[in-house]
Amino acid sequence: MTTVIKNGTVVTADLSWKADVLVDGGKIVEIGDNLSGDKELDATGCYVMPGGIDPHTHLEMPFMGTYSTDDFDSGTRAALAGGTTMVVDFALPSPGQGLLDALQMWDNKSTRAHCDYSFHMAVTWWGEQVFDEMKTVIETRGINTFKHFMAYKGALMVQDDEMFASFQRIGELGGIAMVHAENGDVVADLQARLLAEGNTGPEAHAYSRPPQVEGEAANRAIMIADMAGVPLYIVHVSCEEAHEAIRRALQQGKRVWGEPLIQHLTLDDSEYAHPDWDHAARRVMSPPFRNAKHQDSLWAGLQAGSLSVVATDHCAFTTEQKRYGVGDFTKIPNGTGGLEDRMPMLWTHGVETGRLTKEEFVAVTSTNIAKVLNCYPRKGAIRVGSDADIVVWDPAKTKTIAAASQVSAIDYNVFEGKEVKGLPRYTLTRGQVAVTDGVLTSEEGHGKFVEREGGTPTNTALSKWKDLTAPRPVKRSGIPASGV
Ligand code: URP
Ligand code: ZN
Ligand code: ZN
Ligand code: ZN
């Protein structure tokens, strides 16, 4: 049974043109004029784009004494509803737990996925077992990205020597290092001081994580990655200080990517001053929301290409879970949702305002990350042979975001009340129509794991350069006799 998407404009990261798209067996098989198929989807007035890829989610993640509420079922349904057809979640070993053991847990959870997915591996401690298992993770399991937390002291945080050892190992194996860049020692100190001074409310979460803690850590990670000879991907870049470090690194020829979140682009720190405790606590995430100066920097980075990808860091906790932190902001589970809203919010605040072209929209929501993660053009492309992960985007369709009508399983939405213009008419996951004008028909378990090989073109180029410029002994014609 073939499906044809008719009368639309295909939009890719580098080109837009009028064409029909024919899908068979979950793949794009033809792009051209006057195509026909068994089933027809009308794309008149719409853009036919690669489905979104959200490279940063935490579905059913054990964190801060609880589990994030959206799991691979509700989370991937929310993704599809918003035009996202692939998520990349973080497999998170608890300190001391083996990488393969943690992966088994993520394999079990992800059987419920409605769209395709992949994993990043988190390195939360360091030892011989981690060193050894990294090889299996990358070579056998198809996971080429390894995340390090420079924050969450006493829990997930790793030290610089551990990070340097891990980065070198990743470089050797042809993988990509990732960091959550915040100076966890400074954050812990500021948290203790704020609490002692009676700053217990959710606004103190933001006070304890100023832009400097992020800028310092981003710089440090960039330098350590450079010394280790590994490409670096910095997640949830929220401020000018971290962005500045990335810009500088890029201009020096370092291999670095920065990922802002849709939350940081469109919500600011005034949310924490809200008189309602619940309102502020629901927006507690790390790094926190920033002011307009930082938001302008992030938008400019997407325009300039110094920031490459817009993600969500979807990590959704209910109001009840957020209330674990009443009286002590350090106990508010960190995280916000966004999977369903990333694409419409970015279209509305990016393309509709003229900050981004529609081709740039495709680049930062799908194509760029598919290339970084080494799953392009299977994902992130409208090309013959690519997976038919497609969103038929209706730029005229509007809605008001509301928790009451969302797919996510939590009881609020940080974008509540925002008007969006630009929504999916259809979302297809490997050829299966999962969304039709807001109605979900997706299937639990349809999602498949996407393997991603190491040894990406960026790795190969960087290794060549590092080999060429590595320290070597100076060849001398004669060595003087020892003075002893
Ligand atoms: O606050 C956040 N970002 N929660 C999820 C875990 C992380 O740091 O990415
Ligand atoms: Zn993080
Ligand atoms: Zn995260
Ligand atoms: Zn299926």
Ramachandran area for residue 65 (φ above 0: left; ψ -120 to 50: alpha; else beta): left
Amino acid 48: pLDDT:
99
Q: Which atom of ligand 1 is nearest to the CA of 334?
A: 1
336 lines ligand 1 (CB under 6 A): no
Which atom of ligand 1 is found nearest the CA of 285? 1
Where does CATH 2.30.40.10 sit in the chain? 3-47
Pocket test for ligand 1, best of 54, 57, 58, 264 (most atoms within 8 A of CB): 58
Peptide bond into 471 cis (omega under 30): no
Residue keyed to tokens 């974008």: 415
CA–centroid distance, 29 to ligand 4, in Å, is 19
- Give the tokens for residue 468: 């060429």
N-term to C-term CA, the chain: 85
User: Taking ligand 3, which is a single-atom ion, which protein residues have CB atoms under 5 Å away?
Assistant: 313
Q: Measured from the CB, is residue 315 less than 6 Å from ligand 1?
A: yes
Which residues belong to CATH 3.20.20.140 in the chain?
51-462
Q: What's 3-47's CATH class? A: mainly beta
The confidence score (pLDDT) of residue 482 equals 86
Domain 51-462: give its CATH architecture: Alpha-Beta Barrel (3.20)
Output the CA 63–ligand 1 centroid distance in Å.
Answer: 9
Q: Full-prediction pTM beyond 0.90?
A: yes
C-beta 335 within 6 A of ligand 1: yes
Indicate if ligand 1 lies below 6 Å from the C-beta of 334.
Answer: yes
How many Cα neighbours within 13 Å face the side chain of 39? Answer: 9
Measured N-to-C along each axis, helices 160-173 and 211-228 cross at an angle, to the nearest 10 degrees, of: 50
Q: Residue 326: what pLDDT? A: 98
Yes or no: say if 31 and 10 are a contact pair by the CB < 8 Å rule. Answer: yes
**pLDDT at residue number 172:** 96
The β-bridge partners of 177 are 146, 232
Specify the amino acid at residue 349.
H
| Ligand 1 centroid distance, CA of 285 (Å) | 6
Cβ–ligand 1 contact at 180 (below 6 Å): yes
Calculate ∠ Cα 233-235-239, nearest 5°.
115
pLDDT at position 479 is: 87
Mean pLDDT, 10 residues at a time, over the chain (484 residues)? Answer: 98 98 98 98 98 98 96 98 98 96 98 98 98 98 98 96 98 98 98 98 98 98 98 98 98 98 98 98 98 98 98 98 98 98 98 98 99 98 98 98 98 98 98 98 98 96 95 91 81
